[in-house]
Amino acid sequence: MLSREENEIVTRVGPGTQMGHTLRRYWIPALLAHEIAEPDGPPVRVRLLGEDLVAFRDSAGHIGLLDEFCPHRRVSLYFGRNEACGLRCIYHGWKFDVTGACTEMMNEPEENDFRHKVRVAAYPTCEIGGLIWAYLGPHETLPPLPKFAWTQVPPTHRSVTKVIQESNWLQALEGGIDTSHAPILHRLLSETSTRGGFKPSSPFVRGKAPKLEVDITGYGFQYAGIRPLGESEMHIRTYQYILPFHQIRPSKSEHGFPTDAGHIWVPMDDENTMIYNWVYSKTQAPLSEEDRLEAGLGNGPLHVDQKTFRSKANRTNNYNLDRAVQRTESFSGIDGINAQDRALQESMGPIVDRSKEHLGPADKAIIQARRLLREAVRTVAAGGVPAGVAPSYYTLRADEAVLPRTADWRREMTTEQEILRTV
């Protein structure tokens, strides 16, 4: 549980807020690279941390991420012409390059030209892992590039999608790092069901309720859900949480080979989140077209409108909840694992009131994530570098296994790293 004041601090992300300052110290996914694939192609609107921006790729292939509103009389640059190395406002023809400099003023005679006095806000970007990332913080604290392991494999071995969730970013993140719900909400009731979810025979479902172990590290934490299985075994699933909003979890391709997957919960504003879903092959095998559809997850083109990135199952249609399916085939009756998550996390309201919760030991990872985020806020306020900025997360992985009850899961399943403390 958090007090109302604490809840405000961790959930509000706009300019001038404490969490807003903190999040502006990290690279933040702004859009999928293919949304602005072509030089001089159409610009795209981007909403990040309560700011309205416009992204474009100029004639030379450089990426611009500008304040959406023209500094002349504030019309939207979304309608602009992307031409000859700049984005030109179509109202009076002022033109801006990717650095935000004004390079032309069509409505002013040359002798009155004051373009050197005008700039539009422009943010630095980088293109890594099929995403365009932005940095909205102070220049002097530009972080190392976000080279997560999944960003470093060829595009054939990686898939990234995105979908808007109509809730605050933190309740989406908390849902993602909450392992105890996964084999409950996402379980199938029938072994023969072809829907997404965990089958009754899976050790994740057969295991008893989990004990959580959380190892605090320099980037966030690694943690394991440990589920007793039968007489002498245990089912272990390890996860990574990297501040402020990244998760890595173990997964499997549609063809059975191991993958890592994860989410990035990017606040668009206080009440809307762009969730990036990524998966990559940890083997030589590339991902298949089936993997890219993410049918079982409910994130791909079958479930999400690829122009608006809005979920087809949504609040207005009760997420297409099917009571007959809920009785016989899946625990939730909603199609698609992450569509189930969206339904429940949106049902909490735009910003959940954490002063009314009743948390238990199964919520340990969530409690620790909140602690670390509040610590990051204090670190930034004191002029320091928050956790998750230093590149100690580059090689992190996640894993899943059934081990003898006596095994040491850290030794068997994780790469060696500095653990600050275990909770």
Using CB under 6 A, list all residues that contact ligand FES: 70, 72-73, 75, 89, 91-92, 94
The DSSP output letter for 345 is H
Q: For residue 213, give the nearest of 54, 38, 58, 413 by alpha carbon.
A: 413
Residue 72 or 199 with smaller CB distance to ligand FES: 72
CB of 66 to ligand FES, least distance (A): 12
Two tokens, residue 158: 């990686």
Q: Minimum CB separation from ligand FES for residue 1, in Å?
A: 48
Q: Least distance to ligand FES from the beta carbon of 139, Å?
A: 26
- Name which of ligand FES, Fe ion, none residue 13 binds, using a CB cut-off of 5 to 8 Å depending on partner kind: none
- The smaller minimum CB distance to ligand FES, of residues 9 and 55, is found at 55
Tokens read off for 238: 């390890």
Q: Is the dihedral of CA 290, 293, 298, 299 positive or negative?
A: positive
Nearer of residues 28 and 66 to ligand FES, judged by Cβ: 66
Task: Name which of 76 and 202 has its Cβ closer to ligand FES.
Answer: 76
Residue 174 in contact with Fe ion, rule: CB under 5 A: no
Residues of this chain, 51-110, that bind Fe ion according to CB under 5 A: none
Closer residue to Fe ion, CB minimum distance, 35 or 341: 341
Provide the minimum distance between the beta carbon of 68 and ligand FES in the complex, in angstroms, as a whole number: 11
Q: How far apart are CA 176 and CA 14, in angstroms?
A: 23
Of the two residues 63 and 70, which places its CB atom closer to ligand FES in the complex?
70
Cβ closer to ligand FES: 73 or 315?
73
Strand partners, 69: 76
Q: Which residue, judged by CB position, is nearest to Fe ion in the bound state?
A: 341
Residues 13/28, Cβ–Cβ less than 8 Å: no
Q: How far is the CB of 65 from ligand FES (least distance, A)?
A: 18
**Main-chain phi, psi angles of 290, to 5 degrees:** -60, -45
Cis geometry, peptide bond prior to residue 244 (ω within 30 degrees of 0): yes
Shortest Å, Cβ 91 to ligand FES = 4
The CB-of-177 to ligand FES minimum distance in angstroms stands at 43
Q: Which does 341 bind (CB under 5 to 8 A by kind): Fe ion, ligand FES, none?
A: Fe ion
Which one of ligand FES, Fe ion, none interacts with residue 47, CB within 5 to 8 A by kind?
Answer: none
Quick one: which of 302, 257, 249 has its CA closest to 277?
249
- Residue 157 phi/psi, 5° resolution? -105, 10
CB 30, min distance to ligand FES, A? 22
Q: What are phi and psi of 149, to 5 degrees?
A: -55, -40
Q: Where are the alpha helices (DSSP H) in 179-336?
A: 182-185, 203-206, 289-293, 323-328
The answer to whether residues 390 and 30 touch, using CB atoms and an 8 Å cutoff, is: no
User: Residue 34 binds which one of Fe ion, ligand FES, none, with CB within 5 to 8 A depending on kind?
Assistant: none
Task: State the binding partner of 73 from ligand FES, Fe ion, none, CB within 5 to 8 A by kind.
Answer: ligand FES
Residue type, 143: P
Number of residues that bind Fe ion (CB under 5 A): 1
Tabulate helix, strand, coil % of the chain (nearest 5).
Answer: 25, 30, 45
Instruction: Give dist(CA 236, CA 95) in Å, integer.
Output: 56
Query: CB 37 → ligand FES: shortest distance, Å?
Result: 26
From CA 34, how far away is CA 160, in angstroms rounded? 11
Look at residue 147 and give the partner it binds from Fe ion, ligand FES, none, a contact being a CB closer than 5 to 8 Å depending on partner kind.
Answer: none
Q: Name which of ligand FES, Fe ion, none residue 70 binds, using a CB cut-off of 5 to 8 Å depending on partner kind.
A: ligand FES
- CA separation for the pair 297, 412 (Å, rounded): 28
When the beta carbons of 115 and 147 are compared against ligand FES, the nearer one is: 115
Within positions 288 to 347, which residues make up the interface with Fe ion, using CB under 5 A? 341
Is the CB of 19 or the CB of 182 nearer to Fe ion?
Answer: 182
Q: What amino acid occupies position 390?
A: A
- The string of DSSP letters for 394-417 reads TT----EEEEETT--HHHHHS---
Residues in the site for Fe ion, rule: CB under 5 A? 341
